[in-house]
Amino acid sequence: MTVTPVTVRVPAKVNLQLAVGPLRADGYHELVTVFHAVSLFDEVTVRPADRTSVRVSGTDAAAVPAGRANLAVRAAAALARAARPRGASSAVAIEIRKRIPVAAGLAGGSADAAAALVACNELWQAGLSAAELSAVAAGVGSDVAFALLGGTAVGRGRGEQLTVALAAGTYHWVLAFSPGGLSTPEVYAACDRLRAARAVGVAAGPGRARPPGLGAALGASPVASSAGGRAVDPVAGSSGEGAAGVPEPRLSTELMVALRSADPAAVGPLLSNDLQPAALSLRPELRRTLSAGRELGAIGAMVSGSGPTCAFLAADARHARDLAVSLTGAGVCRGVAGCHGPVHGATVIPAGEHG
């Protein structure tokens, strides 16, 4: 019997808000985040095979782990455990065509895992519901459930507890890619270190005990943080925060209101990312990229997720095209991609339509 291979298209994400709370006992941070799926897609094809394998082509292919470390392989194995009858073969040949750069803060690995879940669910006719797939996804990685869902959604917990956001309109983005990736755990660890240093500084009194170089790492100007979408000095901290404790993250109601307006000019100033100071401390050169985008007219500029990709919000599609050209000319990144959001999450594409 020949079985038709299944191909799934899956988007990258940016976080319109990323509020990072305290470090939990399980090593994860409590989050409130606003995920937004954008039209930069990977494609994943699965077909039955004698043994499981993974082949990767396209952007950063050489940097994608092969074998069991690959998130798509792990997702297929997790689905087989959840939904495959005992004794039935669950070996699949997985082919990933990448356009989402690796370790870029765009959840590319999570996207491939989500695509593998949807593709294997279809290939095996396993019949898992969206909610059941989402539960399997959460066990594979914090961002995988969102890549299944797509659109614009609020994530809580590790990011895996999702609520669809009431957002209107289409937003046009330019993504500026950096040479080399950033490790997500390392960026979270840097965030913890900066916060600990800040707590020491606050305890020691004004102007005391700021570690050398910290001001430069954080940037001379305020960096957008999650305190209701207002720009706050990341060294001084946001309102209501104690010296030692990290406050519980909270959703920016201002951002949620702006997203319902469909007006990028309202959304742009409210973009915020608590991991941005950490990403900038590890990659100070990103400050130049962000400044260049702002000077070239972006109406919102931020590091995407754990970075190092920088995401710039444009007024419309035409503005995004102009911005992409100018950013390329400015020489502040390794490449750019124009895209829009929100878009659907992982979706099966009919045979013959992929490429």
Query: 3-state DSSP call for residue 94?
Result: strand
> Of the two residues 177 and 188, which places its CB atom closer to ligand C5P in the complex?
188
Residue among 13, 98, 112, 274 flagged as catalytic: 13
**Where on the chain is the footprint of ligand C5P (CB under 6 A)?**
28-29, 31, 141-143, 158-159, 184-185, 188
To ligand C5P, the closest distance from the beta carbon of 108 in angstroms equals 11
Task: Dump strand ranges (E) for 282-330.
Answer: 300-303, 310-314
> Of the two residues 7 and 281, which places its CB atom closer to ligand C5P in the complex?
281
CA max distance for the chain: 74
Q: Please confirm, yes or no, whether 233 is among the known catalytic residues.
A: no
Q: Please confirm, yes or no, whether 143 is among the known catalytic residues.
A: yes
Q: Which of 74, 109, 113, 69 is nearest to 90 (CA)?
A: 74
Provide the 8-state DSSP code for 300.
E
> Of the two residues 173 and 188, which places its CB atom closer to ligand C5P in the complex?
188
> Of the two residues 43 and 143, which places its CB atom closer to ligand C5P in the complex?
143
To ligand C5P, the closest distance from the beta carbon of 338 in angstroms equals 26
| CA atoms of 232 and 326, how far apart (whole Å) | 29
> Of the two residues 185 and 215, which places its CB atom closer to ligand C5P in the complex?
185
Residue among 60, 143, 263, 322 flagged as catalytic: 143
In order of 79, 133, 222, 255, 347, the CA distances from 138 in angstroms are 12, 9, 34, 26, 18
**211, burial (CB in 10 Å: exposed 0-12, middle 13-18, buried 19+):** middle
To ligand C5P, the closest distance from the beta carbon of 109 in angstroms equals 8
To ligand C5P, the closest distance from the beta carbon of 105 in angstroms equals 11
To ligand C5P, the closest distance from the beta carbon of 200 in angstroms equals 21
> Of the two residues 159 and 307, which places its CB atom closer to ligand C5P in the complex?
159
| CA atoms of 151 and 255, how far apart (whole Å) | 16
244: left (phi over 0), alpha (psi -120 to 50) or beta: alpha
| CA atoms of 320 and 338, how far apart (whole Å) | 6
| CA atoms of 94 and 346, how far apart (whole Å) | 15
- 195 Cβ neighbours under 8 A, 6+ residues apart: 246
To ligand C5P, the closest distance from the beta carbon of 279 in angstroms equals 13
For residue 91 the two structure tokens come to: 């070996």
Look at strands 161-164 and 29-48 and give their pairing: unpaired
Which residues are known to be catalytic? 13, 143
